Structure 1
Amino acid sequence: MKLLFLRLEGVMQSWGEHSKWDERDSALMPTKSGVVGLLACALGYPRGDMRINELSHKLNMAARADRAGNIMIDFHTVQGMPMLNSEGKKRSGNTITSHRQYLQDASFLVVLSGAEDILENCAAALESPVCPPFLGRKSCPPSLPMIADLNDRYASVEEALEQYPRADRSHGRLMTQREDPAGMAVRMDCLVSSAERRFARRNIIIGNVNPPEVNNS
């Protein structure tokens, strides 16, 4: 079974899942919509392109938190003339305040499964991206090349999460999330329409694994 492994590591990451207007959250694990978005950047698909929706539908995603990171909240002010509200009407003031969450110093392993030609196209795009991909927001560039591996060494996604070496010489069990229709947990991060920014439920199975230590020798 061929799988595409991505290493998502950076000084800051942000994976919004429940953001509403001025308050911008970050989930503790990468969202599928965010990962599909960074692949779309690498492939050169513009926002609203139907190929982004197809990519989301044809890929299954699992993730492992090799370093969970720490939540940081950043306070922003945005000014403009005039400032409009959600109904398109003028606000009473010309300044918006916004709280935005980021994950600091996190490292995630993302495992993508799907048709082999799609995985190969994504891997090639990440090696030579059309547009620079980022970790959830444009202000969050990766600190390492995102593509870790494309191989068929593992019989299943579950086996890959358990056996793929961890990011560093840490110890202990690591949290995983694996997309599965039978999963009892739900995330609202499955892209339905990139043009309208609509998302659907994605069932996942949450677990934990103790993968082998990375070999730096």
Structure 2
Amino acid sequence: MSFEWLHLRLAAPLMAFGGVAIDHVGPTREFPSVSALTGLLANTLELRREESALHQALQDRLIFGALSIMPERRNVPLVVTDTQNAKLEKSDRGWTTWGAPERRAGATYDSPHRRRRDYLADHETRVVLRLAPGDGPTLDDVATALDRPARPLFIGRKPCLPSSPLLAGRARGATAYEALQSLGIGGRAIWPDEGDGPDNALRHNIADLRNWHSGLHGGSRVVMEGRIA
């Protein structure tokens, strides 16, 4: 059976596909995670952060493959690191995702707040995605929302504004690997383990699921990684 897939072009001067963060370090992966794409689509569909059940249902239905397009003569992604330092005084407050301002704790204000964030520079990723049967938006609903999103979109982090519309068209294929092949673009790619792909593809277990009810890491899944000819 052949399915219809949406074809997304994710390109920006800087973008981030966040990996597992430890302490103040925010890494980036080469490919988007399930949770990142869920958040991106939820933003286009005007879902509110507190609508955790709708986010979870969307993530549970999402099936996708992703392909990296490298500039000429580059074989690996170019990663740049932004080191951020901020001195927080006693009265300073920070914006949070849980709705209450964050305040500085402790008695001393001399040490700055430090964090490090990695970004993919001048990178482009193609994504093919579809939604498994279930309650919620249809693939056409998602396509319409991507064409006219309810809110401004960013790729991974708020400074990462896309350099072009995200919806690049549609694709067809029985699997994500076949849909990626139908784009006619070569590069390194990941796709769900559906029993197809080149013999030399690598099998990975990646932690990229989110529990939208708790807001915490929600598990891992198996993907294949290899080259699309």
Confirm or deny a common fold (TM above 0.5).
Answer: yes
- 1:204 aligns with 223
Deviation at 1:15, TM superposition (A): 1.2
- 1:76 aligns with 84
2:24, 2:11 → 1: CA distance?
Answer: 26
Matches within 5 A, 1:113-128: 113-115=130-132, 118-128=138-148
* 1:162 counterpart = 2:181: yes
Cα displacement string for residues 140-169 of structure 1 (whole angstroms, at most 9, x for unaligned residues):
010011011134x43432222123033xxx
1:25, 1:16 → 2: CA distance?
Answer: 6
Matches within 5 A, 1:78-117: 78-82=86-90, 89-90=105-106, 92-93=108-109, 94-115=111-132
- 1:60 aligns with 63
- 2:36 aligns with 34
Cα displacement string for residues 157-192 of structure 1 (whole angstroms, at most 9, x for unaligned residues):
2222123033xxxxxx51111123778311111122
Instruction: Give the count of matched residue pairs.
Output: 201
- 2:16 aligns with 14
Moved more, 101-110 or 47-56: 47-56
- 1:2 aligns with 4
RMSD: 2.5
Q: Is the 8 A contact 1:181 1:203 kept in 2?
A: no
1:91/1:3 Cα in 2 relative to 1: closer, same or farther (>3 Å)? farther
* 1:147 counterpart = 2:183: no
TM-score, normalised via structure 1 length: 0.83
- 1:213 aligns with none
Deviation at 1:195, TM superposition (A): 4.9
Unaligned runs of 5+ in 2: 71-75, 94-103, 196-201
Q: Is the 8 A contact 2:16 2:156 kept in 1?
A: yes
Q: Is the 8 A contact 2:64 2:176 kept in 1?
A: no
TM-score, normalised via structure 2 length: 0.79
Deviation at 1:47, TM superposition (A): 1.4
Return the match for 2:190 from 159, 168, 177.
Answer: 177
- 1:214 aligns with none
1:155/1:52 Cα in 2 relative to 1: closer, same or farther (>3 Å)? same
Unaligned runs of 5+ in 1: 167-172, 211-217
1:41, 1:70 → 2: CA distance?
Answer: 27
Cα displacement string for residues 75-112 of structure 1 (whole angstroms, at most 9, x for unaligned residues):
1112323489xxx8527445211111000011111111
